[in-house]
Amino acid sequence: MSINASWGELLVGAYHKRLNGCEVVSYNNRSEEAGNQMEADVIAIDNDRDTGEQNVYVCEVVTHMSGDLYSGSPDDGWWTEYTNTKAYQYSLQKLEQKFREDYRYVNDTFGNADKHSYQFWAPVVSGWQNGSDIIRGLEALTERFEDETGEELELIINQDYTARIQELREEADGDISNHGAPAFRFLQILENLK
């Protein structure tokens, strides 16, 4: 486990460790390829002992409780169709770049895996109630990613994020074993207070 992992990343890793049965969870993975500056927030590997299949989860995690994702100055691109807000445009551009890099990295590093699962996790994304520009842009991003790679990009945001973390909390309730996942251990403490 990287000491640089954020609490949001640790929660996502704990989810995959405890609820998807991933034995290997790694944080802030960087390519060893010279000049490649990519970084995947969470990689979790599930080796199914019954079937022998391997599923590699690749997760980008943004835990900004204000609902904002990234800030910066965007280039021109497809994202301008969805919003005139620079931060939203840059967020879409940045996420597209990150998932393209993740795709290349995972296919180079785990090319023999049976399945690759790409996920974007964020507890709060602005405007989800009314289908805001950023939400429509994220949905477009998932379609573009699938069209380009043939792989699904799952959005685990807002209420879906809450539901997954609630599952993790329920898993922690009554469980006192140390599973080697710091965020899960924290939830165990909270859920088992009497």
d(CA 38, CA 151): 19
Q: Which two tokens stand for residue 91?
A: 């967020």
Give residue 119's pLDDT band: very low, low, confident or very high (50, 70, 90).
very high
- How confident is the model at residue 125, as a pLDDT? 92
Tokens of 82: 């969805």
CB atoms within 10 A of CB 85: 15
The pLDDT confidence band at residue 1, using thresholds 50, 70 and 90, is very low
Q: Is residue 65 part of a domain?
A: yes
Determine which helix (DSSP H) or strand (DSSP E) holds 26, and give its type and residue range: strand 24-30
In a domain, 190, yes or no: no
* Per-residue model confidence (pLDDT) at position 67: 80
User: Checking DSSP bridges between strand 153-157 and strand 39-47, what pairing results, if any?
Assistant: unpaired
Percent of the chain with pLDDT over 70: 93
pLDDT tens-digit series, residues 92-101: 999 999 999 9
- For 113, the domain range is 19-158
Identify whether 170 is part of a domain: no
Asked if 55 and 46 touch (Cβ cutoff 8 Å), the reply is: yes
pTM of the model: 0.91
Look at residue 85 in the predicted model and tell me its pLDDT.
85
Tell me if 79 is assigned to some domain. Answer: yes
- Please state, rounded to an integer, the average pLDDT across all residues of the chain: 90
Number of domains into which the chain is organized: 1
The answer to whether position 5 is within a domain reads: no
**Residue bearing the bigger pLDDT, 154 or 5:** 154
* Residue 37 belongs to some domain of the structure: yes
Domain for residue 136, yes or no?
A: yes
Evaluate whether residue 8 is within a structural domain. Answer: no
The token pair that represents 23 in the structure block: 């034995």
CA 18 to centroid of chain Cα atoms: 16
- Provide the edge-to-edge strand list for the sheet that holds 39-47: 24-30, 39-47, 54-61, 115-122, 153-157
Q: What is the pLDDT of residues 20-40, one digit of tens each?
A: 999 999 999 887 765 566 789
The whole-number average pLDDT for the span 112-133 is: 86
User: Which strand (E) or helix (H) includes residue 95?
Assistant: helix 86-109
Burial of 101 (0-12, 13-18, 19+ CB in 10 A): middle
